[in-house]
């Protein structure tokens, strides 16, 4: 249990400082977006990864359709350029695998792929999707795209694994 807590702590520290990939889709069509936020916790007797996504994000369409997503977190800086490009380009307009050189590979449990070469992976099944009322968010946060709204996803972590 202590090792698992240390892995979670390291992955969240890397996610918030380096970034990672939130991916959804299937072996035929998938998309990823860069994230530097998320939360690992325990609710409803389940391990949970929660994340808030702008309603205009292309990846959101995949999550809503398939009800699964993955988080792929690198522990080093080798993905910096790919994370930046995925954060500034929509999968509606470009093929992110071709643009960035990342490679999707099958996850262990869910249909959504993971990004090959990362160190920590979370595979999640959506158990709650909640629209965020932007009027109730502290204005000091200066939310981008607030006119389009946000959705919060609670994903049950059905697989969590480390690749050193």
Q: What is the CA radius of gyration of the chain?
A: 15
Question: pTM of the full predicted structure?
Answer: 0.92
Write out pLDDT tens, residues 85-126.
Answer: 999 999 999 999 999 999 999 999 999 999 999 999 999 999
Which ranges of 18-137 would DSSP assign to H, the alpha helix?
A: 58-66, 80-88, 96-100
Contact 158, 49 (CB under 8 A): no
Residue 126: per-residue pLDDT: 99
Give the model's confidence band at 154: pLDDT under 50 very low, under 70 low, under 90 confident, else very high.
very high
Span 16-48, pLDDT tens digits: 889 999 999 998 999 999 999 999 999 999 999
Residues shown for the chain: 164
112 close to 21: Cβ distance less than 8 angstroms: no
Domains and CATH numbers, the chain: 2-162 (2.30.110.10)
d(CA 86, CA 70): 15
């Amino acid at each position: 249990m202590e090792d698992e807590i240390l892995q979670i702590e390291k992955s969240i520290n890397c996610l918030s400082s380096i970034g990672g990939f939130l991916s959804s889709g299937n072996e035929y069509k998938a998309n990823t977006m860069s994230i530097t936020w998320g939360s690992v916790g325990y609710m409803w007797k389940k391990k949970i990864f929660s994340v808030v996504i702008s309603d205009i994000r292309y990846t959101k369409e995949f999550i809503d359709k398939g009800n699964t997503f993955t988080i792929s977190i690198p522990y080093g800086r080798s993905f910096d350029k790919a994370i930046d490009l995925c954060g500034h380009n929509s999968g509606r307009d470009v093929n992110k695998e071709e643009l960035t050189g990342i490679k999707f590979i099958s996850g262990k449990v869910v249909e959504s792929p993971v990004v090959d070469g990362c160190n920590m992976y979370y595979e999640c099944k959506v158990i709650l999707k909640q629209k965020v009322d932007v009027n109730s968010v502290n204005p000091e946060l200066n939310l981008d795209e607030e006119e389009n709204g946000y959705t919060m996803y609670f994903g049950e972590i059905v697989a969590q694994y480390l690749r050193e």
